[in-house]
């Protein structure tokens, strides 16, 4: 759902989360996430790595941005478009590869 349409009190299913449409909901179900509350406390980078392993392919890194958006939203932050997290993700991945 587009973040501007998300109403926190009405988040009942995965597609009620910001930036989650039917395809992303399928990805979340592959990860064993069937309800929005199951996102709480999850690491978006680990979710991405698990999804890539399950599908045996390298997904677009923007999927990490989507996962950041939903984990932050479920932790209480406002709903934001997924690309609001792109620079943060790029910085973190650069730092990880530098180690």
Q: Tens of pLDDT along the chain (99 residues)?
A: 999 999 999 999 999 999 999 999 999 999 999 999 999 999 999 999 999 999 999 999 999 999 999 999 999 999 999 999 999 999 999 998 998
- Which helix or strand (DSSP H or E) is residue 91 part of? helix 86-98
- Which helix or strand (DSSP H or E) is residue 2 part of? none
Is residue 13 helix, strand or coil?
coil
How many domains in the chain?
A: 1
**pTM of the full structure:** 0.95
Q: Which domain, by its residues, includes 43?
A: 3-98
């Amino acid at each position: 759902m587009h973040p501007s349409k998300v109403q926190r009190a009405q988040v009942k299913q995965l597609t009620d989360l910001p930036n989650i449409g039917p395809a992303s909901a399928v990805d979340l179900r592959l990860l064993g996430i069937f309800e929005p509350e199951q996102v709480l406390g999850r690491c978006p980078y680990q979710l991405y790595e698990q999804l890539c392993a399950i599908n045996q392919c390298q997904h677009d890194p923007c999927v990490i941005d989507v996962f950041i958006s939903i984990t932050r939203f479920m932790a209480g932050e406002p709903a934001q478009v997924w690309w609001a997290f792109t620079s943060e993700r790029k910085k973190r991945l650069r730092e990880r590869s530098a180690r």
